[in-house]
Structure 1
């Protein structure tokens, strides 16, 4: 079942629960040159297209109608074209995000502002899902990460980091299960995430990444 923003129990009048039309209207009213300048993104004035890298692939996003196309590569699956919540993450980043680079330190979801509030949902939809989907399939996980050109990191039994948006990096760590212990996992975020993302965004982000892994595996 796809992750729903409603699963996060947002406040009733929270803008995060606004319909897709709300975001597209805000995007249409925004100044694409301002977006490009604020986020240091290429903007083609003639084509009225912003260029955004998301999870390893380059996308072209038209203004004012937010139509998404991708630059040809070997990924085989394109979340910003296929996944509704990936589109919401992207449009919110364009509207509200800022350029930032992490210090090199990574934090758990719990350590992020308001992370405690949504920790149960994040743990169930992201941490446990990652562990029980790939904790006994490390070879599949490795092949997917290499397909994404992710960077291996020295944690757990296997771990990789991926840049989801420019400057914003996620680490996914797995410990393989055995006869005595079930598989386990951890997801860490570069410490600059609060500059552009709320805890709610990060929960959806984890779900989008994990949901994408299955699609990428089919492309191998």
Structure 2
């Protein structure tokens, strides 16, 4: 999803979205479809997606969401295969082609997570709780979030000590590749981090 190619990516996503049956996409994505609109929660924001137009609107403000966000949601609808969440943990590298995109993923997600929260785990705890995360048992502190209905994402942090600097990781479910292309997880997890960072000022 290179930035210079977004218009082409959107056009392709819309064509694929229109070619699929709404009812099939609804059950595969775990969303509600009624009166020509899908309803779902995206990064804790209630949104509607019109079918077949593929317009994505913030249900609170009535405004269209950003272009990259729209493409991500359309990809979720067109890529989802309906697999159950397997509760088997993997990292980004274990996704198909994950090694190819690991640097963009680290730059968008892992490094910012360490930079903002690594030296103050209480800030991460506060942000995770404010954003509705589910506390997990990984690392020194971890939270699981659902940026899209069937995509659990767990942010894990280890605080610094006398021997090691702070560190972080992001855990996905083994079913992740059935819901989004690998490259999209760099964008999705980066957006999730941005939402957590935004919780610090609230």
Asked if TM exceeds 0.5, the reply is: yes
Residue number in structure 2 paired with 1:68: 57
Residue number in structure 2 paired with 1:213: 196
Residue number in structure 2 paired with 1:96: 79
Q: CA 1:61–1:17 in structure 2 vs 1: closer, same or farther (change >3 Å)?
A: closer
| Unaligned stretches of 5+ residues in structure 2 | none
**Would you say the 8 A contact 2:30–2:150 is kept in 1?**
no
Q: How far off is 1:95 after superposition?
A: 1.8
Q: How large is the Cα RMSD of the aligned pairs? A: 2.8
Aligned residues: 200
**Would you say the 8 A contact 2:31–2:149 is kept in 1?**
no
Residue number in structure 2 paired with 1:76: none
Q: How far off is 1:91 after superposition?
A: 0.9
Separation in structure 1 between the aligned mates of residue 78 and residue 161 of structure 2, nearest angstrom: 45
Q: Secondary structure at the match of 1:18?
A: helix
Between 36-45 and 131-140, the greater mean CA deviation after superposition: 36-45
**Would you say the 8 A contact 2:9–2:71 is kept in 1?**
no
Separation in structure 1 between the aligned mates of residue 141 and residue 88 of structure 2, nearest angstrom: 19
1:183 aligns with 2:173: no
Q: How far off is 1:21 after superposition?
A: 3.8
Separation in structure 2 between the aligned mates of residue 81 and residue 208 of structure 1, nearest angstrom: 17
Structure 2 length-normalised TM: 0.84
Residue number in structure 1 paired with 2:69: 86
**Would you say the 8 A contact 1:101–1:168 is kept in 2?**
no
Q: Secondary structure at the match of 2:38?
A: strand
| Unaligned stretches of 5+ residues in structure 1 | 73-79
Out of 5, 13, 33, the position equivalent to 1:43 is 33
1:23-60 CA distance string (max 9 Å, x none): 34543554433422443421122xx2111122334322
Residue number in structure 1 paired with 2:133: 150
Structure 1 length-normalised TM: 0.78
